[in-house]
Amino acid sequence: EWLRGETKLPLVLKGIIAAEDAVLAVERGVDGIIVSNHGGRQLDGTEATLHALPRVVDAVAGRAEVLMDGGVRRGTDVVKALALGARAVLVGRPCLWGLAAAGEEGVLRVLEMFRQELMLAMALCGCPDLGAIDRSLIASA
């Protein structure tokens, strides 16, 4: 609440994995939530962000943007996250692998692979654009 009162800039909170925390964040004025377990560095046994995402999206109920960070390794992971309600995904580790392997060109290659995998996954799912990706693509266990 204090920070919301200090700025008119969009306020995005990272590290949310519980629906209850997402509701509290929205009630206190955040504009966006990043569902993240911080790469498992703080708690190695924490829930995967992809599993927590639908509960957070449902709890927020459109009152804030929901993004997902963590565990995104390929284009199909992007499709899953978008289908479960993420507005966008954050990709860190694969870009760092590309950077370590081949510098700037490596990062560009990683991002191009993501783009190609995303486009292929969308085509195989019958989605002509990102707006066509929804929860109907996800089979429940």
Residue of 38, 63, 74, 87 marked active site: 38
Express each pLDDT in 62-113 by its tens digit.
Answer: 999 999 999 899 999 999 999 999 999 999 999 999 999 999 999 999 999 9
Express each pLDDT in 3-13 by its tens digit.
Answer: 988 999 999 99
Instruction: Using alpha carbons, list the distances in angstroms from residue 108 to 75, 76, 79, 97, 100.
Output: 15, 18, 20, 11, 12
Q: Where are the domains of the chain?
A: 2-137
At residue 40, the pLDDT reads: 57
Is 38 known to be catalytic? yes
Rg (CA), the chain: 16
What pTM was estimated for this model as a whole?
0.91
Residue range 2-137 in CATH 3.20.20.70: yes
Instruction: Using alpha carbons, list the distances in angstroms from residue 134 to 16, 25, 47, 78.
Output: 22, 25, 22, 12
At residue 141, the pLDDT reads: 63
At residue 39, the pLDDT reads: 60
- Is residue 130 scored above 80 in pLDDT? yes
Express each pLDDT in 34-51 by its tens digit.
Answer: 999 866 556 667 889 999
Q: Taking residues 52-67, what's their average pLDDT? A: 98
At residue 42, the pLDDT reads: 60
